[in-house]
Amino acid sequence: MVFFKPDAMLRGVIGEIISRFERRGLKLVASKMIALDRKFAEKHYAEHVGKPFFDSLVEYVSMSPVLACVIEGENSISIVRSLAGATNPINAQPGSVRGDYGITGRNIYNVIHASDSPESARREVALFFSPSEIFSYEKKWNP
């Protein structure tokens, strides 16, 4: 599960980032634009309650719509996390999503949220999507 944060939405870099996942053989099986209200954002980031950045993170992800996506493929979580790069853009390697698009010095302005485990992915997918919004298909083009 990934979602593109307001800085990615407002800067128009989502297509470039999705193409990185597709080039690695992953496939997009669900996506939708959603406006996160404070309650939804707090539920999503519940593990960070009490941390110094929690309120600013919730406020930030609620400032514009986000694009939520389910991306599948073998080792998809580790591949997406590797492509995303370190959470803090200052520490993200050039060539990673956060290294290329993250705003230096603002840890929360890091372009993308990426599930960190299968358990988190299941919880987050269920929070953002109903089962009928997730599509199964073979990634093969044969006109």
DSSP-assigned beta bridge partners for residue 113: 3
48 catalytic, yes or no?
no
Catalytic residue among 5, 44, 81, 113: 113
Tell me if 9 sits within 8 A of 68, measured CB to CB. no
Give the DSSP H or E segment for 78.
helix 76-84
CA distances from 64 to 2, 58, 81, 108, 127 (A): 16, 11, 23, 14, 18
Residue 12, SS3? coil
Secondary structure percentages of the chain, helix, strand, coil, to 5: 45, 15, 40
Residues annotated catalytic, as ranges: 113
